[in-house]
Chains A and B, each alone.
Chain A
Amino acid sequence: MREPLIFEISKKGRKGYSLPECDVDKKNLKEMIPEEYLRQESPDLPQVTEPDLVRHFTRLSQKNLGIDTNFYPLGSCTMKYNPKVNEEIAHLSGFRKIHPYQPEESVQGTLKILYEIEKFLCQISGMDKVSLSPAAGAHGELTSMMMIKAYYKERKEERNVVLVPDSSHGTNSASSNFCGFQVIQIKSNKEGEIDLNDLAAKINKKVAALMITIPNTLGLFERNILKIVKVIHNEGSFLYLDGANLNALLGIVKPSDLGVDIMHFNLHKTFSTPHGGGGPGSGPIGAREKLAPYLPIPLIGKGKESYYFNYDRPKSIGKVRSFYGNIEVIIKAYCYLRSLGEEGLKEVSYNAILNANYLMKKLKKYFSLPYKGPCMHEFVLSGEDKEAKGIRTLDIAKRLLDYGFHPPTIYFPLIVKEALMIEPTETESKETLDAFILAMSQIKKEIKENPSLVKSAPCNLSISRLNEVKAARELKLRWKKNGD
């Protein structure tokens, strides 16, 4: 059913709020503010009652798939279950209703959490220091590349190249480019891993860093990682780890042992905080000794009796945002780590890898698997089918919606034609995985027997396939009164 826009249910004179009367001596408005500074017409915001409003947004909430309603195997995004107790705790007044500039003595509880999670992330990754400032993974990447830039600038070394594998996330390139680095791609070899010859041809003293994702975006562990890092370090370049796939490594491999110099964490992927429909996330970064002095300010310090913000870091690149980080998200991740503890954390990656390999084994019967496993926490199929002309991965994705599943990530990584990138996570049961396998096998059958059905998907939702081309051409980006 079509839900009207909030503006379309607005009626003059209705209201959804109640505010107290002004209880201080009132002054005339114009005594306080010159007339030319005042708004002449009130902003044309909707006027709705509370029940109307509640119904509107409740209905809109129901027109979404989320982890709480559906299996959501979105590769690279780690859509695992978001524990409710973490929500409950993060919403306690003691955490939610505190101001960032309150005296440190009045926020010791939160400071302790921040101090400890910095330590936990160091223990998990083997990094020497962690900053909690970045608001998201891409923000962490950008911050890291700014640090690398500052490091070489201080040494007056001109290094203006960043290497990225051709299977890398787009944010790697975008973050490097912002810092003025030229981005050069390294080819993948037939096995889907970094081509050592291509790396050897492109590495030189101009290279500031290699940005690597482990396991890579095909879900494969780079078997040559130790050779790669040797090549990189021999030229005095840094190894940056895109931490998007850390859910495969917890307690199994420590990034520092791989030779990683700097990395980001996605608390909203690996550490179970909800994605919120696209955010907020949190993208702390960790650095080894060489780069740690450049981390953004502030870090958290611990004195004899109390915790404090440490701004005394002369080599820091400075602030990368206001205040200190996405604290509410960080508190949820802290709760997750405390719930799981040492033992639980290893179970996470172990089960995530198990689930991915199970799905891979079953699904490769129906769709081609361009790069062989075993995989880590995710894998990539190709939706390309030479016999079924005209059916694309997009069609498969839309048909999955009819079966009640959120589709995998599609058309990424770019090195796989018609890619379907599948990440089940550890929080899904065998029964759910089996239901997904059944749906995929049915779709495969439909592609052969009834391709027009697949092309016309989704068929069972309240909305049919949306015209994205039209959206980009007509560009209706906001509601306007009377369509003006």
Chain B
Amino acid sequence: MIPYIPHTEEDKKGVLREIGVKSAEELFKNIPQNLLLKTPLGLPSSLSEMELLKEMRKLSQKNANLNEYVSFLGAGSYDHFIPTVVDHLSERSEFYTSYTPYQPEASQGILQVFYEYQSLICQLFQMDIANASLYEGATALAEAVILAHNFNHRQKVLLSKTIHPEYRDALKTYIEKTLGLSIEEINYENGITNLNKLEERISEDVSCVVIQNPNFFGYLENLREMEKIVHKFGSLYIVSVDPISLGLLIPPGEYNADIATAEGQGLGNHLNFGGPYLGIFTCKKKFLRKMPGRIVGETTDRKGQRGFTLTLQTREQHIRREKATSNICTNEALNAIRATIYLSTLGKEGLKEVAELCLQKSHYLEKKISQIPGFEPIFTAPFFKEFAVRCPLSPYKINKLLLKNKIIGGFTLEKFYPELKNSLLFCVTEKRTHEEIDKLISLLGGK
């Protein structure tokens, strides 16, 4: 018997009797009989809980996990420290076994968390409004471009080549191939977007300009200069940021971004081999009614008590159907809960400390690596927690050697940038220690 199905044979008989049929097969009478399966599906047979645990532990041990390996890999997914309370609280099953809060009186707890999430994100980004989450960083950015097009109906999108290559690929799928807009990429110089090239391409046809900060290479874009160019012809300024960096760096609201999105994984979410992550979406108030996704608002109950509910649902697919602002239904609520707990734990000072530790430690590694003969930083622009290094030999060989020594090396840039041969993108978060960094240096041949 399956432990999740409560009916005893007696129960089943009783239920069938009450329904007024002899066998369950009678309930299938509306299914064309030739469609009823007569052969097995071919799935393996069932496992007991003990057997399952044993087999899955074995499989998990075939992965090199970052409790046992030291990682210098980032590139859009970050090994930040997750305070214990984040796992403990988000794993309360009253949170994770609930559904989207369609009945607000039954879900005040989760609705309040989403309201706190929206508030925290607005504080962090200095933007007017935030929704209650989207899938992850790339789709959040795609939704931003869609909003821009729905707002100004312009046909061209300018994309910096310093945006995460997988985000650019996803944008091509949604924006170019599906929506039919044209995308032009702006090249980079010294690791950041080439502003002269941007200025040449900007025109009244441009719906939006999309950038990332810190960008995929880890370097900081010249955001205020860029803003002047982007807004020259009324295009929308869209930026995808690293939320951890906002503990230290200028927030999107202050450089007049119209829409700011982010991959929120770093805010208390595990690496999980790439998902589920957290799509953060914020914008100026004027775009509110064009915003995708769930939004929670404050209201009162009949006795005048404060309460929370989903609001502006007339933007959404279940009400507006084909006229909805987006097709999103299920989002990443539990990841947003984790981000809320994370940001509340670190608070005003903690996030800044995390950001400073990343900054100091990555600069320490960069300095040490530059001293090893043959290794040299490719760019000189200011960076936050990642930087690109040209290596004297194949980066794949280097990473192989590191892996043998229980270190996950940097990201091999030529995978996405053929012009950046023999290059590695190193990431240093607050979790890396002096000792671990020095071990990496010595394996690379330095001291």
Contacts and interface: CB of A to CB of B under 8 A. Distances in A.
B442 interface: no
Contacts of A354: 7, 12, 15-16, 19, 24, 27
Interface in B401-432: 403, 408, 411, 430
Interface in B23-72: 24, 26-32, 35-37, 40-47, 49, 52-53, 55-69, 71
Nearest to A92: B60
Contacts of A22: 356-357, 360-361
B377 to A, nearest CB: 13
Given A48-B347, A335-B56, A32 B363 contact: yes
Interface residues on B, range: 35 or more
Given A174-B326, A397-B103, A479-B116, A278 B52 contact: no
B77 interface: yes
Given A325-B275, A340-B2, A401-B106, A66 B98 contact: yes
Interface residues on A, range: 35 or more
A327 B273 contact: yes
B322 A183 contact: yes
Interface string A325-367: 1111100000101111111110110110111011001100000
A336 B84 CA distance: 27
A264 B155 CA distance: 31
Contacts of A329: 275-276
B327 A135 contact: no
A338 B11 CA distance: 26
B52 A89 contact: yes
Given A96-B271, A465-B302, A180 B180 contact: yes
Given A278-B101, A355-B15, 7 more contacts: A37-B223, A64-B110, A82-B96, A135-B136, A257-B35, A274-B93, A475-B311
Contacts of A357: 19, 21, 27
8 contacts: A37-B223, A171-B327, A322-B136, A335-B52, A347-B5, A354-B12, A466-B307, A478-B119
B153 interface: no
Given A324-B274, A354-B12, A108 B63 contact: yes
A436 interface: no
A401 B47 contact: no
Contact of A68 (B97, B298, B312): B97
A122 to B, nearest CB: 10
B232 interface: no
B65 A179 contact: no
B30 to A, nearest CB: 5
A79 B49 CA distance: 22
Q: Which 6 A-B pairs have the closest CB atoms?
A: A94-B60, A323-B274, A341-B46, A276-B334, A100-B274, A109-B62
A351 B52 contact: no
B106 A39 contact: no
A79 to B, nearest CB: 6
B178 A277 contact: no
B266 interface: no
A321 B32 contact: no
Contact of A5 (B89, B93, B116): B116
Interface in B340-394: 340-341, 343-354, 356-357, 359-361, 363-364, 382, 384
A448 interface: no
A159 interface: no
B242 interface: no
B392 to A, nearest CB: 20
A280 B331 CA distance: 6
Nearest to A150: B177
Contact of A103 (B320, B322, B399): B399
Contact of B295 (A83, A462, A477): A477
A38 B11 CA distance: 67
B94 A68 contact: yes
A102 B64 contact: yes
B183 interface: no
B361 A277 contact: no
A14 B348 CA distance: 10
